Amino acid sequence: MKRNLIMLSVIAIFATGCSSTPKPPIPLAQLKADAPAPVSRLEKKEAEFLKSNGSVKIEFDESGNFLGLASTGTAYIDTNHNSSRENAFNIALMRAKRNVSEFLSNDVGSNKFSKTITKTLMKNDGTDSIKSNRKEGSDGAENLDLLDDGGGNSETMSAEDRIRGQRVSTYVKEQMTDNSAALLRGLVITGRSIEKDSNLVSVEVRVTRNTVAASHSLRQMIEGLK
């Protein structure tokens, strides 16, 4: 009798263990299908401003987030000596940095800045509101040149698009103005080139959120060593 009871207990335990066996994992293909779709990144825009010895380019997205700034400075090589070439590079570097400094001090607060940012934002924009407001038979780029200092023209842009352009340009302007010192500290050299035919050298400097953060960390480390 006891033997039968023991056998029944073993069978019951075995049956319970089998019933509690975990379910097989969900196939990877099904997991991918159920996963949420990735969020698309906002389109990056680039506005260029010409300076006396180079140019300044501003990178931002459609929401007005400042992404980066690049400046180019140029200088001529006086002679064929290596030292003259390095001197020209140093001059071009100083001019590139000066372009950024002058741009942050003078140009960012101008109507031209707001106008250029708005034009860049709306150029090649695929929204129906802009397409419907462009003059029939004319080129879109030519229409965008009619933008006034307020950021728009009723013949080429809808009221909604003008407001959007002004809002974005204001956001970009505020970020650059409030962080002008940090932007200058975060400049790094990203390119050097020579035009052999004209002996013209150019140097590009750039600042992004990453270079600003790196500059801030380095500054804190140096101050901690004092």
The pLDDT value recorded for residue 156 is 61
Residues whose CB is less than 8 angstroms from the CB of residue 167 and which lie 6 or more positions away in sequence, other chains included = 64
3-state SS assignment for residue 12: helix
What CA–CA distance (Å, rounded) separates 116 from 93? 25
Q: What is the CA radius of gyration of the chain?
A: 30
pLDDT (0 to 100) of residue 125: 60
The span from the CA of 41 to the CA of 219, in Å, is 32
Quote the CA–CA distance of 17 and 9 in Å, as a whole number: 12
d(CA 164, CA 219): 37
Cβ neighbours, 10 Å, residue 191: 12
φ/ψ (deg, to 5) at 199: 55, 35
Give kind and range of the element (H or E) at residue 45: strand 44-51
pTM (2 d.p.):
0.68
Give CA 161 to chain center in angstroms.
21
Is there a contact between 131 and 215 (Cβ–Cβ < 8 Å)? Answer: no
Residue 29, classed as helix, strand or coil, is: helix
Report whether 57 contacts 69 (CB < 8 A).
yes
- pLDDT tens digit sequence for 2-17: 455 445 454 454 454 4
Alpha-carbon gap, residue 187 to 201, rounded angstroms: 19
Query: In the β-sheet with 44-51, what is the strand arrangement from edge to edge?
Result: 44-51, 54-61, 66-76, 200-208, 188-195
Instruction: Write down the domain spans for the chain.
Output: 44-225
Residues for the chain: how many in total? 226
Residue in the block written with tokens 């097989």: 24
- Rounded Cα gap, residues 73 and 84, in angstroms: 16
The confidence score (pLDDT) of residue 12 equals 52
Residue 226 CA to residue 222 CA, distance in Å, equals 7
pLDDT in tens, the chain (226 residues): 545 544 545 445 445 444 444 444 433 233 333 333 444 467 899 999 998 888 999 999 999 999 999 999 999 998 877 789 999 999 999 999 999 999 999 999 999 999 999 999 888 565 434 444 444 444 444 444 444 444 444 446 788 888 888 999 999 999 999 999 999 999 999 999 999 889 999 999 999 989 998 888 888 888 777 6
Determine the pLDDT at residue 144.
46
CA 10 to chain centre: 68
